[in-house]
A = this chain, B = another copy of it.
């Protein structure tokens, strides 16, 4: 099964400009991006709600991350010009499609984290 011949198998040469691996890594390689998508997967949220649910994120990083996702068309930002402004963030249809692969990753994590931890212990004991 590990065979591979032609076509854009695996991750190809990671430094081609148009290499998908590069792009996707630039996007999800950033921890905050993934966490924001994770929270928004539960439904829309306001800035302060995101701030609270993603403990440890600074306003600067949260803003920056949301701008990036908005630019990518994965998140929609809606401003309600009320008295104190209200801003709501939600995943777009495109953004929602990203949840699936992310969930697969999370499931992998849940399924294998125990083994990984055990392996680490063995490794550390031997070193």
Chain A residues within CB distance 8 Å of chain B = 2-4, 8-15, 20-21, 23-25, 28-31, 34-35, 38-39, 41-43, 53-56, 70-74, 91, 94, 96-113, 115-116, 118-120, 122-124
Contact = CB atoms under 8 A, between A and B. Distances in A.
Contacts of A38: 10-12, 14, 21
B4 A21 contact: no
Contacts of A8: 106, 110
* This chain: copies in complex: 2
A26 B120 CA distance: 14
Contact of A30 (B29, B54, B70): B29
A14 B56 contact: yes
